């Protein structure tokens, strides 16, 4: 979108430079977010294979680092910088466009946190504390780590990332 000459001439940073910089930061934040998702997935897969509770604990600590230092801040940065870029580039949100469809998909994945990951995480934490107390990987812990509902939730997160990436690039509607 072109900026009126009087606005462009009075603003210290050209509009195009601003929107391109924000878009670049948005894509960098996607690296942080998706990098964290990948790291967390690998660490959790290793934790599931561990036969020693100390190894399992170590993998879970790595998984939490990915979650807390990359996935969580990354998801907020992707959202905030994406919204700012959309606003600066004057991409429409209505009627349903690739921007609003991406937002809806993104929020649908956020909804998994209170509905699936927090309640299932509580069951997992109880099984982990119990296994730590016994000093071994218990069948209860193995079952909690193989939770199908959590696995489906994580698969949905990846599907959303793939779908949004396509929407961002193809901008089909």
141: contact with ligand HEM by CB under 6 A: no
> Which tokens belong to 77?
């940065």
18: contact with ligand HEM by CB under 6 A: no
- Which residue number, 71 or 164, has a Cβ lying nearer to ligand HEM? 164
Residue from 57, 67, 73, 91 that binds ligand HEM (CB under 6 A)?
Answer: 91
Total binding residues toward ligand HEM, as defined by CB under 6 A: 21
Q: Which stretch binds ligand HEM (CB under 6 A): 4-12, 111-119, 132-140, 158-166?
A: 158-166
Q: Least Å distance between CB 159 and ligand HEM?
A: 11
Query: 146 and 48 in contact (C-beta within 8 Å)?
Result: yes
- Which residue number, 46 or 156, has a Cβ lying nearer to ligand HEM? 156
Q: Least Å distance between CB 119 and ligand HEM?
A: 24
What is the Cα gyration radius of the chain?
Answer: 21
Closest CA to 150 of 110, 120, 115: 120
Phi and psi at residue 145, in whole multiples of 5°? -75, -20
Neighbouring CB atoms inside 10 A of 138's CB total 17
- Which residue number, 95 or 139, has a Cβ lying nearer to ligand HEM? 95
**Residue-by-residue DSSP string for 125-161:** HHHHHHHHHHTS--HHHHHHHT-HHHHHHHHHHHHHH
Query: 67 and 117 in contact (C-beta within 8 Å)?
Result: no
Burial class (CB in 10 A: 0-12, 13-18, 19+), 97: middle
- Binders of ligand HEM among residues 70 to 89 (CB under 6 A) are 78-79, 82-83, 85-86, 89
Residue from 106, 110, 117, 156 that binds ligand HEM (CB under 6 A)?
Answer: 106
Interface residue list for ligand HEM (CB under 6 A): 23, 26-27, 30, 78-79, 82-83, 85-86, 89, 91, 99, 102-103, 106, 161, 164-165, 168-169
């Amino acid at each position: 979108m072109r900026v009126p000459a009087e606005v462009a001439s009075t603003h210290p940073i050209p509009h195009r430079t601003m929107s391109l910089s924000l878009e670049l930061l948005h894509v960098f934040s996607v690296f942080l977010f998706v990098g964290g998702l990948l790291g967390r997935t690998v660490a959790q897969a290793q934790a599931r294979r561990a036969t020693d509770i100390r190894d399992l604990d170590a993998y879970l600590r790595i998984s939490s680092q990915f979650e807390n230092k990359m996935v969580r801040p990354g998801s907020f940065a992707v959202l905030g910088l994406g919204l700012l870029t959309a606003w600066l580039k004057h991409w429409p949100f209505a009627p349903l466009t690739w921007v609003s469809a991406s937002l809806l998909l993104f929020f649908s994945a956020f909804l998994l946190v209170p509905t699936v990951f927090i309640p299932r995480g509580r069951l997992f934490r109880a099984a982990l504390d119990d296994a730590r107390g016994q000093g071994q990987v218990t069948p209860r812990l193995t079952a909690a780590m193989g939770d199908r509902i959590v696995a489906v939730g994580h698969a949905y997160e990846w599907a959303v990332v793939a779908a949004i990436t396509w929407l961002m690039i193809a901008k089909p509607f």
